Structure formats: C-alpha cells, structure tokens
Amino acid sequence: MAARYESFQMGGATVALCPMADLESVAVGLWFRVGGRYEKIRENGMAHFIEHMLFKGTRRRSARKISEVIEGRGGDINAFTSEELTCYYARMSARHFPLLVDVLFDMTRNSTFPADEFERERTVIQEEIRMYNDQPGSVAMDQLNMLLWPSHSLGRPITGTVESVGAISRADLCGFWKRYYHPANLVLTVAGRVNRPSVEKALEPWLGKTTSRLKPSTLGERAPKSPAPQRGIATARPVEQVSVAIGSYGLSRHDPRRHTMRLLSVLLGENMSSRLFQNLRERHGLAYSVQSSVSQFEETGAIYIQLGLEAGNVLKAVKLIRKEIVSLLQGKISRAELKRAKDYAIGQFQLNLETSTNHMFWMGEGIAAYRRIPSAEEVMKRFSGVQAEDISRLARDIFGKGRFYLSLVGPEESVKLASEASVELNSGF
C-alpha cells in the first residue's frame, strides 16, 4: 500500500504526518532550516555546536536524563547537521509518542547551555575535528569543497575548525540558537502508529497557543556562479595511500534534471557494477574503493568521485576516469546498462522507504527543501523517464568544458602529482 502523507500548519510550524497502522513504533523529526551555510566566517561551526549543546540539559532534564528517558523505554535519539538543515530525531514505541514529542521540544526550546557543559563540549567537538583531520579521505573532501566554493560557507567544514570552535563564545552561540530555532523555521515530521488527532494533541502544548510572527530564515550569501580559478590542491601526510577526491559543479536540488544527474552518478560509480568500479578495481586493480556521489543545494550542487590508491597509480587512474567520463558524454550508454542504473536507483529508493524513520526523513527533506512531499510514484516515474541521450546531454553540459577539481592527500612524494593530475583530468574536452 502506498504511503499516505498529510501536512498542515500549527503554531507557525509545518507538520507532516505519515500514519502507518501496521507498525508498533513512531519516528519524530524536528527539522530546522539552519546549517553550515547559514554561518558567517566567524560563526563557522556554530550550527553543529548547537546540535551538540541541545543534548546537554534543559530546565527540566539533565543531559543524562534526556538519553535515559528515551533509551530506558527502548527508543533511540540522535541528530545531524548538514549544510542547509539541522535535524533532531527519535524513535520509540508509539505508546510513548507524547513523551517523545515532549523530550524533543524540551531540548530544542528549553536548553540551558550550562557553562561547564559548554566548555567541555567545545573540547569534545575539537577532538571530533581532529579525528576527521586524521582521516585522509575526509581531508581530501574538505579541500575539494574549498576549491569548488572558495571564500563561501559551502566551502567550509560543517564542524568548523579547531580555531573557529575555540573562538565561539557562549553568548554568541545562544544568540545563534535564538535566531534560528523558532516555529516559523521548523518542519516537524511524524511517521508510524499515530493519527492526526493524536499528533495535534501532543503538539498543542508546544505549538497550539501561539503563532510565530517570524519568517523562515534565508540561506545568506548565494554560491558564486563563476567557476573557481584554482583546480588542484594537495596536502602531505605520513600515510601509505593517496586519497583522491575529484569534483565538478552539478545541479541544484530544484533543477528538473536532478534525477538524470543521479543516474549519471550511478553509471559512474555508485555500486559494484558501475563503470569506475569495474574499470579501476576489477579490470586494473588500482584501488580497493572508488565511488561517486552527488550533492545538491538550493542553487548549486556537485558531483564527486573518491578513491584511494598507490601514488604511482594516480595518473593512470585519472586517465581511466577521464576516459569513462568522455564515453558518457559521447553517448556510449547501452540499453542494458541504463536499465540496470534505473533499477538500482528505483530499488534503493523503495528500500529506503520501508521504515517509519525513513518516511520521517523523506517528509522532512521534502518539505524543508521543496516545500512539499514528492510521492514515491512521482520519483520512480521521473527515474523511469530518463533516456540515454538525457544522460549524455547532461554529461556534456557539466563535464564538457573540462571543469574538474582535484584534491589529494598522501605521502610527501605524491604532493607534486596534484597539479599534473588536474591538468590530465581536464585535458581533451
């Protein structure tokens, strides 16, 4: 049976509901329109810092009590911060639904930002940043985003840096929280064994009596349209393998060709039957892991290729990657290959909508990003309607000018490869 989605306004917030009577659980997500790209340079890391701090105690619950009240009833609670959204979500038995709502709203509305917890969590986040900085693949991706969006918030790490987090004051963090955490900036999604009357009753203490006069926040500075001038960057690390990240500008999430873009990525490297995996790993044995992915934002986007390999194989791998990209923009896509890509994209989409949590995510991302919830039938129809020529035409549009950016992290002797590999990658278009 197809999922039935319903959305309505309550207290200035947007509420979306997916009743799933055959389940025993319920998943709830509070989505706030704020993330890394909303930050000015001196605020880098604040959205993520707040995500941490909202678990550190409210006027009614200590940090330990927040987790105990959910986990002690068999549930789980978590959060994440992205470039454009921050989400706090939890799942537990539907009989505890009012309690689950109360905990999430208590966290996001009544947090006290205790001074001792603030300093302690600052250190925790700095250790998190150091952890990512010790992962060459993570550093390569951060460098690549910096190349694609220099001097822009999309090019800065969501976690911030050790220095930027060290400079954040408690007063500034509280001000950032109050600026963005209000009902007009909130999308609340509920999926599971609930109905609209029970949802409205649980939300009434938090949203039913007042309507926010504020408006949803805006993204701030828009990403520049002109291509970035620098094409390659490298960092030396005492490691044995070179981590390479390649990127090119893609499409915004509002572009009608976004489903074509996803199929282009699937063909390139999203699974084991993809071109890059079969060529670089299976045929030539150059890399254990090679993959492609897509990021889409309000007005821009990117397509990425990531791999790790020996320094002596970097240029060979780049030539093979360029060869596969040229093949795609020349239209060399068989009917069978296209069918496999469509079946994979549709199949993964269907598998991702089999739980209450994933329906909660689907509704939140849909309303926060598109102001509506696309139906599963609509998405599958769009994937099914893509033709081989659509993919080739899009490949020519985004790859045809040879605007590739390359980031490399590896041993000292590999650093000099970044410039040569970047030139090789962009030649012949």
CATH number for the domain that contains residue 405: 3.30.830.10
Residues 190 and 236 in one domain: no
**Annotated catalytic residue: which of 51, 121, 324, 365?**
51
pLDDT of residue 30: 98
pLDDT of residue 226: 83
Residues 371 and 284 in one domain: yes
Do strands 242-249 and 405-410 pair parallel, antiparallel, or not at all (unpaired)? antiparallel
Tell me the residue ranges of DSSP E strands in 49-166: 76-81, 86-93
pLDDT of residue 228: 84
240 with 262: CB under 8 angstroms? Answer: no
Residue 215 lies in a domain: no
Do strands 287-296 and 405-410 pair parallel, antiparallel, or not at all (unpaired)? unpaired
| Residues in the chain, overall count | 429
30 with 108: CB under 8 angstroms? Answer: yes
Do strands 86-93 and 6-10 pair parallel, antiparallel, or not at all (unpaired)? unpaired
Its domain, for residue 334, covers 232-426
Residue 226 lies in a domain: no
pLDDT of residue 219: 82
Question: How far is it, in rounded angstroms, from Cα 126 to Cα 65?
Answer: 25
pLDDT tens series, the chain, 429 aa: 568 999 999 999 999 999 999 999 999 999 999 999 999 999 999 999 999 999 999 999 999 999 999 999 999 999 999 999 999 999 999 999 999 999 999 999 999 999 999 999 999 999 999 999 999 999 999 999 999 999 999 999 999 999 999 999 999 999 999 999 999 999 999 999 999 999 999 999 999 866 667 788 888 788 888 888 899 999 999 999 999 999 999 999 999 999 999 999 999 999 999 999 999 999 999 999 999 999 999 999 999 999 999 999 999 999 999 999 999 999 999 999 999 999 999 999 999 998 999 999 999 999 988 889 999 999 999 999 999 999 999 999 999 888 899 999 999 999 999 999 999 999 877
Residues 236 and 180 in one domain: no
Q: What DSSP string runs through 150-196?
A: TTSGGGS-TT--HHHHHT--HHHHHHHHHHH-SGGGEEEEEEES--H
pLDDT of residue 209: 66
Establish whether 51 is a catalytic residue: yes
Phi, psi dihedrals of residue 191, rounded to the nearest 5°: -140, 135
Residues 195 and 292 in one domain: no
Question: How far is it, in rounded angstroms, from Cα 330 to Cα 210?
Answer: 58
199 with 24: CB under 8 angstroms? Answer: no
Residue 223 lies in a domain: no
242: tokens are 């070179």
- In the DSSP assignment, the letter for residue 95 is G
Burial class (CB in 10 A: 0-12, 13-18, 19+), 65: middle
Residues 160 and 254 in one domain: no
Residues 299 and 404 in one domain: yes
Residues 142 and 248 in one domain: no
